[in-house]
Amino acid sequence: MLEATPLTEGWILHHEGEALPASVPGCVHTDLLAAGVIPDPFLGLGETEVAWVGRREWTYETQLAATNGHEQTDLVFDGLDTAAEIRLDGRLLGRTRNMHRSYRFDVTGLGGRLSVRFGSAYAEAEAVRGRLGERPAAYAEPYQYIRKMACSFGWDWGPTLVTAGIWRPVRLERWSTARVARVRPLVTVEDGVGRVELHVDVERSRVEAELSVEATVGGVRARARIDGTRGVVRLDVPDVRLWWPRGYGEQPLYDVELTLLHEDRALDGWRRRIGFRTVELDRRPDAHGSGFTFVVNGERLFARGVNWIPDDVFPSRIGRDRYRERLRQAADAGVDLVRVWGGGIYESEDFYDACDEFGLLVWQDFPFACAAYPEEQPLRGEVEAEARENVVRLMPHPSLVLWNGNNENLWGFRDWGWEERLAGDSWGEGYYLGVLPRVVAELDPTRPYAAGSPWSGSWDRHPNDPAYGTHHSWEVWNREDYAEYRANVPRFVAEFGWQGPPAYATLRRALPGEELASDSPGMLHHQKADDGNGKLERGLARHFAVPEGDFDRWHYLTQVNQARAVAAGIEHWRSHWPVCAGTVVWQLNDCWPVTSWAAIDGDGREKPLHHELRRVYADRLLTLQVRGSSLVLAAVNQSAEEWSGTLTLRRMSVEGGVIGSSRVPFTAGRRSVVDVGVPRELEPVGPKEFLVADADGLRALYFPVPDLEVPYPRPEFEVEIVPGGIEVRAHTLVRDLLLQADRLDPAARAERGLVTLLAGERVTIGVRGWQTPDAEKARSALYCMETGR
């Protein structure tokens, strides 16, 4: 049987004549940090102090003993970042130039000093650029010339920390006769019968040996011969339970076990978990353009999505527990789709395993983002090789429902001046419309492929046409008020978002000793977006008086504005289902402490946006929308059951009086939206009035003017410590009350976000991790709207 021995011990990193202990898997930055050679680049201005690291060469070494007892010994690297030369006792084993691939070298009978020398990713990229010529990109760094995590070169939310190292596991594999080289599982289901076709490739050491494979799944066993180096074993599993996205059903998973045999002697094995489900992408033309609707097991979905970036700029630090924590936070926010964005990586098995278990659909970008990518060698061969490897690697996961060619490159070619600058040079179109769809069609015909995001489906239309396919909505954040989200109804909003700062405790840790201000040195350094603070303040000024010299108030209002902006878009677009079939918020997470579009900050703390997503992504949602000249209440019902109830509508004054009210029955069918007209006499007028709609414990609010114009009463409320948290009782209107629990204790978390209370109402806010509850301290961490602020 194949024997695998991890190589995790005894590594050293050579640095300017010094030998430092090295962690494998790991990277140069984390080793230097552990040795005290560099400061923490996440703190203060530390990023700039370590910029030199990405420009140097680095060598990892360990001792490798020669082994006997098997016919062949392979040295296997699951990931090398990125331009590496591997030698054993001075003998060259090979060179690599792709972070997204694994590598295998025959070291049978060999031993001695194993050396992995990493060249600078900058040097590699700049050399390729010198051979192939300049290509335009959204950023000045040369990330499109090397097959490496693009955002390690910096992004508008990420630091420039260009890594190198053995970033995924390395091991010795010893085997005889043959080993399993690749298993490509095609999983389908029809009429309750699940079919598993396992396409097996083997590597032989002895050609004459007769080989077979035996597989089991769901109590069914089958066997097939290996002809040469290939074989196919088919299993039909009756009465399978379907795998569903979260909110639509359960997520049953089946263990598949395959054994490679020689005369009934086991040589090697392969084990995975699979799920049975069907997935389609409905892109048919209709009266509104052409759609982009996911259909799972025949059920049409409004996708409640988030964009995922690498959870750490040093991805070797992300393990199973962290993946599960972050993806559990996504599920807790009502998310059912996670888009793995193209400027990052193909994530580890731990990521996709968690998505399988939590019922989170995965949209997987191929790693191309915001740049023109050359199509010549050496890149073209690397692109196809990495695509083939990763398509097969990720195929077992039922959560994976879409392969997507790139992020914003088709759009960039048409709109960002690339076409003229390229003057006929290659830029990636051959990947997105040629190589990648061919690879997916050949290897994984069970899943749809999209050429890019955004993409209208044809060059006959603008790539970002909201009426066709996927749409990225960035004009609003960049130039307009978030009310403009309501100006159109895209078929599928694959990116949109609004910035907000991280939690207070995250800032305090990241900027030690700094007097916090929106424009203090550390705050500006941890704001990577072009004119990011300017856009934050202009967006704020449309709704609030921008507080001068009051950081705490600025911090609260910008977080509120972020939550309000994203909610405005989602509520509007969800109310137009099925024309709009999904929203994917930019973004779920951060890779370091930074002001960004994330709902969860770089220390893993939930911003108010995270809690707001839980409300607007719930199966049932009430939202007040303007349709033409009328105000309507849209009851959004994404649940499997009909929703019938009675709406209570109240036209109120900010002082607390009820000007008029009505009770209106409504019925929303399963997976549908119904509009209920608001009587004209209940529509609020002017700054002192607003409308409240309640049904089944859900609430929608409508204020006809910006907060800047609302004469909010001085907020009056009482705070009491209760088991597990605090209770707040309002004596006046209290708008957007927020407990910033991390101000009570850096480990404390509030279990809800923004809440508006009418006079006489109360709310309990659960708090976890608070060791010494105190009512006065809790009051000091509560923020809400005040007149003009």
Catalytic residue IDs = 408
Sheet holding 620-627, edge to edge: 620-627, 630-637, 672-677
Cis peptide leading into 82, omega within 30 of 0? yes
CA neighbor of 569 nearest in space, from 672, 466, 661: 466
137 neighbors 372 (Cβ within 8 angstroms): yes
SS3 688: coil
For residue 459, the 8-state DSSP code is: T
312 neighbors 318 (Cβ within 8 angstroms): yes
Q: How many whole angstroms separate alpha carbon 307 and alpha carbon 404? A: 13
How many Å separate Cα 411 from the centre of its chain? 21
CA distances from 82 to 19, 49, 57, 150, 330 (A): 21, 22, 11, 12, 31
CA neighbor of 599 nearest in space, from 622, 623, 615, 577: 615
Question: Three-state secondary structure along 114-174?
Answer: EEEEECCHHHHHHHHHHHHCCCCECCCCCHHHCECCHHHECCCCCCECCCCECCCCEEEEE
* Interhelix angle 551-574/608-616, nearest 10 degrees: 20
Q: Give residues with Cβ within 8 angstroms of 24, minimum separation 6.
A: 7, 8, 11, 60, 62, 165, 166, 169, 170
Q: Give residues with Cβ within 8 angstroms of 565, minimum separation 6.
A: 476, 477, 482, 485, 498, 539
What's the token pair of residue 434? Answer: 């040629």
* AA letter at 388: R
Q: How many whole angstroms separate alpha carbon 524 and alpha carbon 46? A: 13
Q: How many whole angstroms separate alpha carbon 439 and alpha carbon 449? A: 10
Q: How many whole angstroms separate alpha carbon 301 and alpha carbon 351? A: 23
Environment class of residue 642 by beta-carbon count within 10 Å: exposed (0-12), middle (13-18) or buried (19+)? exposed
* DSSP-assigned beta bridge partners for residue 689: 653
CA neighbor of 178 nearest in space, from 227, 216, 217, 215: 227
313 neighbors 151 (Cβ within 8 angstroms): yes
